[in-house]
Structure 1
């Protein structure tokens, strides 16, 4: 679904990403891991066409992404950094505007709100939503147009443990029942461990390791956290 090949991204003369290579297989969940400032959000913005690489290429669903060609955005659901809404409008009205902008029918709004647990918010303005409710709405917006690929940067921020579990189950269901592919980052490594089929570890602007979760479990029976810490501290786990 996504192929990133030898991508370099420079900001203010500094290479934030260097010779980045990664591969996200169709119908899977890919967990992108990295320390703060490692370049995860930049990577997601490049894949979403919100930024353009200085060198290298990114393919989505077999075609190279061009920033000036936005047609592929209809095939992506994106949640990167803090979501922004029309605060005086309801959840439903926000989704209606989003779908109108995307040129999509609004028939999936009720289902999207139901899936994220916001079906009963009615005409309540988003300004009255908690942080967790806004995060749920951002996820609803990302899935409302039935994209092929979900790009989710820290999607469970602000959610309580019950909400985190509900979103975990939702992401798994989206892959299984709706044929979506999910690219996700989270500081909560246990959540990535629960749902990911494959993980990539971003270190110094490059993918240091890209392995199936089954392999991680073989190498580190203690879990993904130990695997991640070992790599970040210069360990030799392959």
Structure 2
């Protein structure tokens, strides 16, 4: 673990049709860690992720990715990020390998390790199968493969285990931990499955009504909420506080 920040967002504001949906939002993610991003539906998680990706421009505030201003260095930063934002979309008539080849060509990256990446996400031996024949879980695995194929420094994953069965969820958990430990990646991940975040996260950030109300180490949460992350999260959501002394 390092003190260097992979992501630092300060005083972010985002409005849609005059309504402020992200409000003075601050977020910090250290390099080489997994940041579990929690919040109720509609709280602003996906909007924050889209701003970090450069898909949305904040109305106010500043975002630094790997020490670079996200707006001034958008194209350079995008090559350092892999992501799943909302439901992954593919060319259904193409195979998994062909979809990844096309993605890499868009990014101008050569000499990929496509077969190895597909094996990492559990899609080995699917070369001849068009994506139209994939199950929801297989599509989700392919989305993860596309996010990591160019060996990014940062992964931004919005509900990445949707559609996976229990075995698949466990395999992706192990993959994410491996990517941090052995491939020097930093991961920001949102999920409604709190037990999965509890298995892998170093830090928890909770967003309520467009504002991150707390960022705290998972170890501190476990010290003060012995029954786990669920009790902590629902304490905050119910307005009881949930505040942790880090």
Q: Where does residue 209 of structure 2 map in the other structure?
A: 204
Task: Please tell me whether the aligned partners of residues 2 and 24 of structure 1 are also in contact (alpha carbons under 8 angstroms).
Answer: yes
Please, which of 32, 37, 43 is the counterpart of residue 38 of structure 1? 43
| TM-score, L = length of structure 2 | 0.95
Instruction: Please state how far the C-alpha of 1:69 moved relative to its aligned partner.
Output: 3.2
Instruction: Please state how far the C-alpha of 1:68 moved relative to its aligned partner.
Output: 7.8
Aligned partners of 1:217 and 1:69: how far apart in 2?
Answer: 37
Relative to structure 1, the CA distance from residue 34 to residue 67 in structure 2 (aligned partners, 3 Å threshold; closer, same or farther) is farther
| TM-score, L = length of structure 1 | 0.98
Task: Please tell me whether the aligned partners of residues 156 and 189 of structure 2 are also in contact (alpha carbons under 8 angstroms).
Answer: yes
Q: Does residue 1:121 correspond to 2:126, yes or no?
A: yes
Unaligned runs of 5+ in 2: 1-5
Aligned positions, number = 238
Instruction: Please state how far the C-alpha of 1:72 moved relative to its aligned partner.
Output: 1.2
Task: Please tell me whether the aligned partners of residues 233 and 242 of structure 2 are also in contact (alpha carbons under 8 angstroms).
Answer: no
Q: Does residue 1:219 correspond to 2:224, yes or no?
A: yes
Aligned partners of 1:80 and 1:30: how far apart in 2?
Answer: 16
Q: Where does residue 101 of structure 1 map in the other structure?
A: 106
Relative to structure 1, the CA distance from residue 97 to residue 103 in structure 2 (aligned partners, 3 Å threshold; closer, same or farther) is same
Q: Where does residue 157 of structure 1 map in the other structure?
A: 162
Q: Does residue 1:191 correspond to 2:173, yes or no?
A: no
Q: Does residue 1:144 correspond to 2:149, yes or no?
A: yes
Please, which of 27, 35, 39 is the counterpart of residue 32 of structure 2? 27
Q: Where does residue 3 of structure 2 map in the other structure?
A: none
Cα RMSD (Å): 1.0
Unaligned runs of 5+ in 1: none
Equivalent residue of 2:79, what SS?
helix
Moved >4 Å (runs of 4+): none
Q: Which one is further off, 70-79 or 24-33?
A: 70-79
Aligned partners of 2:72 and 2:195: how far apart in 1?
Answer: 34
